[in-house]
Amino acid sequence: MAHPPDVARLTIRKLAMLWNHREYPQIENADEFRLVAGPLGIPFLGSFALLGGLALAGLWFLGPYGARGRFLMGYVAAITLGVVPFFVTDRYRHHLVPGAALLGAVALARAHQALSGAPRGAQIRLALAAAAGFAVVFLPAPGFRPQEYAWRLAADLGARYLHQGRPDLALGEFERGVAIVERSPADAGSPRGVAPAGLFFGYAQALESSGRRDEALPWLERARREAPDNAAVVHALADAYRRAGRSTAAESLYAGLPSLVGGEALALASRGWQAARAGRLEEAEALFANAVGKDPTRFDAWGALVRVRAQLGRLPAARAALDQARAAGIPLSPLRAHEALLDALAGDTAAARSALADVPASAMTADPSIAEVVRATHDLLARSRK
């Protein structure tokens, strides 16, 4: 109500995006799958470019269909108006497909009639409808510039490879993305900052996972310059400074973490790991418990809490923490690794071995803490056989 011109402009813009040939990925980007797996369907014929153009052309010819035609138009209009007030992504546009397919069928039926000897006027009307429909679908629409899209794609693929425990493949993607940004600084971000920070942060993580920590530090510093309020970046840089012996710089960053969004839990977890390394297990337990209380999705802190309680001999409390982590959505690999540890400590070797079988090698490569839990469990099982 305060900005009606802006609302009108954005509404028109999102209408164009919703019926455009462009895809706007939110969760999964089909271009990534095309890049690593080859074509997805038949180019153009299997895309919204064809379906949307035919659907818009079909709107011109709904008159003879009576109530069915009005229902179809209402369905498409309701879906369109339901999406536009929010934001346009490919997965929301999927709901347009049934109605668009039926409208496209109407257009194809009229095309069949026109090719079967319909009057010239009907053929002209069909040509105009098709031209209008495809003109709308191919209108210029918002989107990333080609260079920006390319490095964002590389960054996302790198993050996926890193998550799968393949830092070797991740490095190649991140290096490709960084090279694109370096060649085209004007296209580096829209707005400049958060997205390039993710690229640099991912590159640093891949370097660390490859044993190249000295090379990772400058990229963490660069990520922080791009996104100084990103708690994950600040925390990673503080850890890197601590490992490099730059304790003053590290403590300064740790001290500022609680003021950042999501940083309070990270700060508590960091202090917990410092206490655990110093052998202050009671203090570490309290810090990790506070960390997961602030952010139940800190699954690394959940794992640390389980391990500290196990070290303190509090197996029921450790099991309770693992149950809470499961309820919070901890991934399967760390869950089964910690279940195996607790089972081995409880003397249930069969359950421990069964849990270990569910922890893939890639998970241990991607997360050293999981690898350490698995090694400790194997040691316990080996001792139990003696």
Task: List pLDDT tens digits, range 290-346.
Answer: 999 999 999 999 999 999 999 999 999 999 999 999 999 999 999 999 999 999 999
Rounded CA-CA distance 250/252 in Å is 5
Q: How confident is the model at residue 187 (pLDDT cuts 50, 70, 90)?
A: very low
pTM of the model: 0.78
Each residue's pLDDT tens digit, 236-262? 999 999 989 999 999 999 999 999 998
Specify the CATH architecture of the domain 144-261.
Alpha Horseshoe (1.25)
Answer yes or no: is pLDDT of 204 > 50: yes
CB 345 within 8 A of CB 310: yes
> pLDDT tens digit string along 119-174?
888 889 999 999 999 999 999 988 888 899 999 999 999 999 988 878 899 999 99
Could you tell me where the DSSP H helices lie in 94-145?
Answer: 97-115, 120-137
Asked if residue 191 has a cis previous peptide bond (ω within 30° of 0), the answer is yes
- Please tell me the predicted confidence (pLDDT) of residue 185: 60
Name residue 14's amino acid.
Answer: K
Nearest to 164 by CA among 370, 368, 28, 362: 362
Task: Enter the tokens of residue 177.
Answer: 């993305």
Among 355, 352, 301, CA closest to 330: 301
- Per-residue pLDDT at 143: 87
Identify whether the C-beta of residue 299 lies closer than 8 Å to the C-beta of residue 283: no
Tokens 């108006």 -> residue: 81
Q: Is the pLDDT of residue 267 over 60?
A: yes
Q: What is the pLDDT of residues 13-44, one digit of tens each?
A: 999 999 999 989 888 888 999 988 988 888 88
CA atoms 282, 287, 293, 297: torsion sign: negative
Q: In 3-state terms, what secondary structure has residue 312?
A: coil
What is the chain's mean pLDDT, rounded?
91
For residues 185 and 179, give the distance between their C-alpha atoms in angstroms, rounded to a whole number: 10
Percentage of residues in the chain with pLDDT exceeding 70? 97
* Nearest residue to 80 via CA among 134, 18, 6, 12: 18
The contacts of residue 95 (CB under 8 Å, 6+ apart) are 79, 83
Exposed / middle / buried, residue 380 (Cβ in 10 Å: 0-12, 13-18, 19+): middle
pLDDT at 74 over 60: yes
Enumerate the domain spans of the chain.
4-137, 144-261
Name the nearest CA neighbour of 304 among 289, 294, 293: 289
